[in-house]
Amino acid sequence: MTNRYIIFHKPYGVLSQFTQETPQHSTLKDYIQIPDVYPVGRLDWDSEGLLLLTNDGQLQHRLAHPRFGHQRTYWVQVERIPDIDAITKLQMGVEIQDYRTQPAQVRLLSAEPPVSDRIPPIRFRKNVPTAWLEVTLKEGKNRQVRRMTASVGFPTLRLIRVSIANLQLDGLQPGEWRDLTDSELKSLHNYPQARLGR
């Protein structure tokens, strides 16, 4: 069997699986008609952005295993404008439920990033400003980014994953997918070992 490696821009409201459990949500099957590929990790139904799918079980295991700690970067639209204290707390690690997050790279973006309109759009409140953060993590707890921003008083309104390890979402529109290039695949296979050793 030939291995396939696919990068997909998951739209809002799509489950990161091929089987439909609830009629109100679309699934990957509505966008990708390739047998036997599965997502590496997941994105919640209300999150958007980069999803990697493959039938390469060894690569799936390596990227999913916590000890490899590959980076994931998100653009996060939050309610109100985070101050330096909130940014510092997110960078240092915060308590979410019974867990303390690892240090993260977090910065306030000076302008809205180049994102597609969300369907449906986020709720808009004229008297409440919003801001965009760029957040890079090496871990992926359930709904972690949303819980992190909420813990410092700035609820997440929109969450878009823009990179996984060396893979970038660049130019891929919501609902589109493509095969990885040879250079992307080579870098991805080398990524965990190059960063953290075998």
Q: Which helix (H) or strand (E) holds 56?
A: none
Torsion angle, CA of 48/137/190/178, rounded to 10 degrees? 10
**CB atoms closer than 10 angstroms to residue 131:** 17
Strand partners, 100: 95
Per the structure block, which two tokens stand in for 151?
Answer: 């813990």
**CB atoms closer than 10 angstroms to residue 20:** 13
Per the structure block, which two tokens stand in for 35?
Answer: 């047998």
Are 107 and 40 spatial neighbours (Cβ–Cβ below 8 Å)?
no
Are 4 and 37 spatial neighbours (Cβ–Cβ below 8 Å)?
yes
In whole angstroms, what is the distance from residue 72 CA to residue 130 CA?
22
Strand partners, 134: 75, 107
What are the residue numbers of the active site?
44
Is the link from the previous residue into 120 a cis peptide, with omega within 30 of 0? yes
